[in-house]
Amino acid sequence: MNKIKVGVVGTGFIGPAHIEALRRLPNVEVTALCEVTAELAKQKADGLGISRSYTFDELLKQEDIQAIHICTPNFLHYSQSKAALLAGKHVICEKPLAKDLVEAEELVALAAQTGLVNAVHFNLRYYPLARQMKSMREKGELGEIYSFIGSYLQDWLFYETDYNWRLEPDKSGDSRAIADIGSHLMDILEYITGLKTVAVMADFNTIHKTRKKPLKAVETYSGKMLAPEDYADVPITTEDHANVLLRFDNGSKGVITVSQVSAGRKNRMSLEISGSKKTFTWCSESPNEMWIGNRDKSNEILMRDPSLVNEDVRSTITFPGGHNEGFPDTSKQMFKEVYAAITEGKQPENPTFPTFADGYRELLICEKILESNKAQAWVTI
């Protein structure tokens, strides 16, 4: 087997998650790691058991590297994705695809022009029961969609001493909670329902108007053990919490709430989709169960099991029912589809995985949500 050689750029929280998932694919080899300096790249590569390390420009010159994973802070996504495409590499980029629509539109056009495989890491689509809801809706089992209720709640920025580059607009953009986790929610909403969001009404809240930035390095999800003199006060302009009313192209309505200051909620995405026949409910904290609500008979619980889900969902499941699969498996299942396309050497006509075009779509929705919050009014998409 000729393995596809991959370079991964960035070693924060999500870079190693990509690496772990890629290592579970038999036709892929994580060959190289990239960081801002050669010294840091070597240190991180050694720690992750990767044989080759480079700075970004050096990585692009490696002819045997066929695909690049962009796992850097948001402000680098556009320039690095563009450079990788121009170097003839297939690109898998973290969301958001770019910092604004102009950049995203350019990347979509460039990817189409090159014909190279392009994907955005909206991996939460790849929870098997998320695809099961989509499949059941397509088969008419949900009926006409009446409403959507969604939330994505975290607590990793609960304290004023919690700090991360995502709090800095020059690195992350003008939106934080919506752009970071709300984008996953809006993507999976449209993916499952098949609806398009046509208007939004948003209301943001910044709980900590000032945060204390550590003057020493602190890992994102580690405990904070610093003294008062180890912090600097930083004003915060992005949202900790947001509520958004939604209008869809079928005339139905929805609402989402996102928060990064909900104590005890480590990473909880919840979906409730009500239709004329049934209601589907699913939560990422118990991802192997789907609740199906009925009016005239007992409600049901569907367990994630390849023998119980629809045939078109089975490819996203590796283990039998009762052998739970979770967050790391979503990336593996997504990359399995992406690398099937890379094996063919070009972007499919109808990709099953989220593409740069999907990245553009979510950036558009996020910008309209930002616009709505500023205007405190409904904004059409």
Pairing of strands 253-259, 145-153: parallel
Active site residue 332: no
How remote is the C-alpha of 309 from its chain's centroid?
Answer: 24
For the chain, the 3-state helix, strand and coil shares in percent, each to the nearest 5, are 35, 25, 40
Give exposure, 279-303, as e/b (b: 16+ Cβ within 10 Å). bbbbbbeebbebbbeeeeeeeeebe
Contact 186, 362 (CB under 8 A): yes
**Catalytic pick from 95, 212, 332, 368?**
95
Instruction: Give 217: exposed, middle or buried? Use CB within 10 Å, 0-12, 13-18, 19+.
Output: exposed
What single string gives the DSSP state of each residue in 225-267? ---GGGEEEEE--S-SEEEEEEEETTS-EEEEEEES--TT-SS
Pairing of strands 4-9, 28-34: parallel
Q: Which residues are catalytic?
A: 95
